[in-house]
Chains A and B, each alone.
Chain A
């Protein structure tokens, strides 16, 4: 997809471009079908799934209500195991903390497991600008790193790329290592990436991963992958840096397992992801392998401000991607159109918070309010309601366009005055009935053009509702 700029401000243009993009048209429809049918099958095999969701909500809500205390307990446990916790208020502080840690071991290259927090803080460009080469190891992240693109899906960062595009990227990037044949089979590409990245793991000076959960009881970070890249990243280099946001915390090992029961089933429809690893502290005195140093970089970045607000529920998110896998808007435009790190319904709620509503005002509007996202969310985040909150916020902060504001204000005035409202609809019906004229009218006027362009306005058939109602009452016609 060619885009002028990848920001939420350009959402409308980007969405239009995405819908005309032949590659996305090929890739996106199968994505939704595959993920949702696999999810359905996995849930059908676990009758307790809905009850587990309620339990997960309780675990997350309880933890958020006591987050200050659990963070302290987590830090104590990490320290007791010989690890170090670094507290970072914002993205800038987190980037600098990671850089300082890398420099402390003279790092030149670092391997990375997939981390949305690393995307959120813009870690890779920062490390590169400071002379450290970050190497993404998740195959999808590796592909988009070679393409210099951001992820287009939380759990499938390169789902917008075709096999042919991957072949070209690999040929270009691996030529220097003597790989001069353009690959055709997917297996060959996976094998080549495995071979190339194997050397990177062994040569890296530090390994940076995200964390799906943090466990207060043990001071562990939990990392979930299917490839095993996160485990090689954290066990081969001499330093393991895990970056995680504060809401990833859960109290105990059992709490983590309850959430893990929901995670893979919601994400890919697996019973379990292939690798779920709990990493706790650096290598022990008698360990034959593992990192000598273990650091946890804890990021707030505005999350603590969400506590106690109507947006607190969003902090339950476990980043499974189910909301975007079931979103008709995501299925139409893909992840890049959103122009933000987090895409789909969860992104539409998170991005205005991270970037400001003025910047991201179009994203909460990128919804049909069909409600599927809330239906499939394993931790029952009321995503449509939160998007509605942001729409209200955009309206009260004057962030929405003048014409839209004027139209909503006019409608509100009418809706509060039934006699005028009836008069207006009675006038509107004969006008709208001249359908061709109505379509032309709506498309020609500034106020309605945006709305009418992609919608067909059905001409009203039999007068206003009130007229019909009265007519039926008087003829004794019963409502069916």
Chain B
């Protein structure tokens, strides 16, 4: 069968036999994380928490996202309502089912139409949590799952992401360490790294935003008072 044809062909080309203990060990070592001279860019290393957040804000902004900072999670619903109003967008949001996000005081904004769940075709805006925010490139990292359906990241025209300051990491490597820290089955179905809003340059090399995914990516960074979120 084709599997054996390909594997045997590779072994013939490499001049090796199956079951070579030395090669197996080299591969196992590598998969356990042994890698010679792993370079992590200096810009992502050894910064204080405040510097990391500042670097993240700068690069997220450069990627075309908008960023605002609020003092605590309770201020998130107000920030969302204001953002939609200021941008003249429909006062309607689809929340990710993460319990802490739904427990925020959304009721204080009665003009905001709030619902919860995976995205539907006509949802104009979504609000989701994230797993990590990576200062190295201003990139958000979202994990699919019951708390954060992946369609919310792509279907609506406006995607609002709530980042708690403790979720801001330096390099990608730090985010991966946190990912493995989730336990034995650490990979969700989808890990989405998002750097700015959707765009295309496929028509005469001119950049247009909102090709298929969100036209606007708004990031709300919560600086403190996220005790509730940690629970």
> A227-B213, A231-B150, A272-B193 given as contacts; is B202 within 8 A of A34 (CB)?
no
A selection of 17 A-B contacts at a CB cut-off of 8 Å is A73-B31, A159-B202, A186-B203, A228-B154, A228-B213, A229-B211, A231-B213, A232-B213, A251-B31, A255-B35, A271-B137, A274-B213, A288-B117, A300-B6, A304-B13, A305-B9, A307-B13
Q: Which residues of B contact A289 (CB under 8 A)?
A: 118-119, 144, 149-151
A218–B199 Cα gap in the complex (Å)?
Answer: 29
B interface residues, Cβ below 8 angstroms from A:
1-3, 5-7, 9-11, 13-16, 18, 23-24, 26-27, 30-31, 33, 35-39, 41-43, 59, 62-63, 97, 117-119, 121, 137-139, 144-146, 149-151, 153-155, 172-173, 176, 179, 187-206, 208, 210-214
- Is A209 located at the chain interface by the 8 A CB criterion? no
Whether the pair A252, B145 counts as a contact (CB closer than 8 A) is no
Q: Which 4 A-B pairs have the closest CB atoms?
A: A228-B213, A140-B202, A227-B211, A307-B13
Whether the pair B15, A308 counts as a contact (CB closer than 8 A) is yes
A68–B168 Cα gap in the complex (Å)?
Answer: 38
Q: Which residues of A contact B24 (CB under 8 A)?
A: 69
Q: Which residues of B contact A193 (CB under 8 A)?
A: 211
A271–B37 Cα gap in the complex (Å)?
Answer: 22
Whether the pair A48, B205 counts as a contact (CB closer than 8 A) is no
CB contact between B144 and one of A30, A236, A287 (< 8 Å): that residue: A287
Stretch touching chain B among A50-58, A439-447, A467-475: A50-58
A271–B60 Cα gap in the complex (Å)?
Answer: 10
Q: Which residues of A contact B144 (CB under 8 A)?
A: 287, 289-290
Q: How far is the CB of B160 from chain A (nearest CB, A)?
A: 16
**How many A-B Cβ pairs are below 8 Å?**
260
A52–B173 Cα gap in the complex (Å)?
Answer: 14
> A251-B31, A282-B189 given as contacts; is B149 within 8 A of A287 (CB)?
yes
- Is A347 located at the chain interface by the 8 A CB criterion? no
Q: Which residues of B contact A217 (CB under 8 A)?
A: 31
Whether the pair A139, B202 counts as a contact (CB closer than 8 A) is yes
B1, B2, B33: residue with the most chain A Cβ atoms closer than 10 Å: B2
Residue of A at shortest CB range from B3?
A87
CB contact between B33 and one of A162, A254, A309 (< 8 Å): that residue: A254
CB contact between A139 and one of B14, B16, B203 (< 8 Å): that residue: B203
Residue of B at shortest CB range from A81?
B187
> A71-B7, A202-B121, A287-B146 given as contacts; is B199 within 8 A of A227 (CB)?
yes
Residue of B at shortest CB range from A143?
B202
CB interface residues, A 390-410, toward B, < 8 Å: none
Q: Which residues of B contact A69 (CB under 8 A)?
A: 23-24, 27
Q: Which residues of B contact A232 (CB under 8 A)?
A: 154-155, 212-213
B37, B42, B62, B155: residue with the most chain A Cβ atoms closer than 10 Å: B155
CB contact between A228 and one of B11, B63, B212 (< 8 Å): that residue: B212
Q: How far is the CB of B188 from chain A (nearest CB, A)?
A: 7
> A156-B201, A197-B212, A253-B176 given as contacts; is B10 within 8 A of A67 (CB)?
yes
Interface size on A, residues (CB 8 A): 103
Q: Which residues of B contact A268 (CB under 8 A)?
A: 201
Per-position 1/0 for A155-194, Cβ under 8 A of B: 0111101110010000000000000000000110111011
Q: Which residues of B contact A72 (CB under 8 A)?
A: 7
Whether the pair B212, A194 counts as a contact (CB closer than 8 A) is yes
- Is A88 located at the chain interface by the 8 A CB criterion? yes
Q: Which residues of B contact A157 (CB under 8 A)?
A: 202
CB contact between B30 and one of A219, A251, A284, A309 (< 8 Å): that residue: A251
> A272-B195, A274-B197 given as contacts; is B6 within 8 A of A304 (CB)?
yes
Q: Which residues of B contact A260 (CB under 8 A)?
A: 172
Whether the pair B146, A231 counts as a contact (CB closer than 8 A) is no
Q: Which residues of B contact A88 (CB under 8 A)?
A: 2
> A89-B2, A300-B9 given as contacts; is B198 within 8 A of A226 (CB)?
yes
Q: How far is the CB of A75 from chain B (nearest CB, A)?
A: 8
Residue of B at shortest CB range from A138?
B202
Q: Which residues of B contact A305 (CB under 8 A)?
A: 9, 13
B31, B42, B63, B118: residue with the most chain A Cβ atoms closer than 10 Å: B31
- Is A456 located at the chain interface by the 8 A CB criterion? no
Q: Which residues of B contact A281 (CB under 8 A)?
A: 187, 189
**With A55-B37, A88-B2, A189-B203 given, can you name 14 additional A-B contacts, CB distance below 8 Å?**
A48-B39, A58-B36, A69-B27, A190-B211, A193-B211, A226-B200, A227-B211, A258-B38, A260-B172, A271-B137, A275-B192, A278-B191, A287-B146, A305-B13
A34, A48, A275: residue with the most chain B Cβ atoms closer than 10 Å: A275
A220–B190 Cα gap in the complex (Å)?
Answer: 9
- Is A277 located at the chain interface by the 8 A CB criterion? yes
